[in-house]
Amino acid sequence: MIKTKTFYFNDLRECTYVVWDESGESVIIDPGCQSDSERERLKKFIETNNLKPVKLLNTHGHFDHVMGNAFVVKTWGVKTYINPQDKPQLERAFSYGEMFGYSIEQPPAETIDVNDGDKIEFGNSYLKVITTPGHTRGGVCYYTEEPDNKIVFAGDTLFAGSIGRTDLPGGDYDDLMNSLLKKIVELGDDYKVLSGHGPETTISHELSTNPFLRYE
Ligand SMILES: [Zn+2]
């Protein structure tokens, strides 16, 4: 059974998720740790729980979600998984961060592509990939297929009460709505949503309260 731990990192309170199962193998989703103390908190959690990170998964390439990529890759020797359409974002993370006043370590350029339907395996478990363009061209969500433990890691596609912004480079409102209504909502009402920022929610809660999803 998959377990998760949420960290809120950097000034933008980006959500970093550690995901693991009974084997102790884990994946780290969107490491946004920026300061030494944030890096230390992540490392300490991994060590205290005897976890073994085997993969780094990015939902998209925005700088606040990849600030800790270099640290995670160096510390645990893992590879970075990201959709190829967001590789340009990843490559620009340093200069993009600078524009917003952040000095970040450039994420390692070597990556492994993720695409619709891919299974990302770790331990005895896996996460599946759906491509969800709109916030960025190469945005993806990762989700579980455990019947009693349905979770989708939604990145900046869907938030509690809101949706991802589409005014940044590569953003597209129609694509985002398509991703939300044809892909994320289709996962099912009972999915728990762990977003790139803010508190967790569920698909059913968002369908009844999120103004962007009340389309009838
Ligand atoms: Zn973003």
Domain ranges of the chain: 3-209
**To the nearest 5 percent, what fractions of the chain are helix, strand and coil?**
30, 30, 40
Which among 72, 209, 204, 196 is positioned nearest to 140, based on CA atoms? 196
Cα R_g (the chain), whole angstroms:
16
Give the CATH superfamily of 3-209. Ribonuclease Z/Hydroxyacylglutathione hydrolase-like (3.60.15.10)
Which among 204, 151, 153 is positioned nearest to 1, based on CA atoms? 151
| pTM for the model | 0.97
Residue 103's pLDDT band, with cuts at 50, 70 and 90, is confident
Please state the φ and ψ torsions of residue 118, each to the nearest 5 degrees: -60, 145
CA of 194 to the centre of ligand 1 (A): 14
CA of 136 to the centre of ligand 1 (A): 7
Residues measured by CB to lie within 5 Å of ligand 1, the ion: 62, 156
CA of 196 to the centre of ligand 1 (A): 8
Q: Is 7 helix (H, G, I), strand (E, B) or coil?
A: strand
- Does residue 68 have a pLDDT over 70? yes
Q: Which residue has the tokens 């640290």?
A: 71
pLDDT at residue 144 in the model: 98
Residue 169's pLDDT band, with cuts at 50, 70 and 90, is confident
CA of 15 to the centre of ligand 1 (A): 11
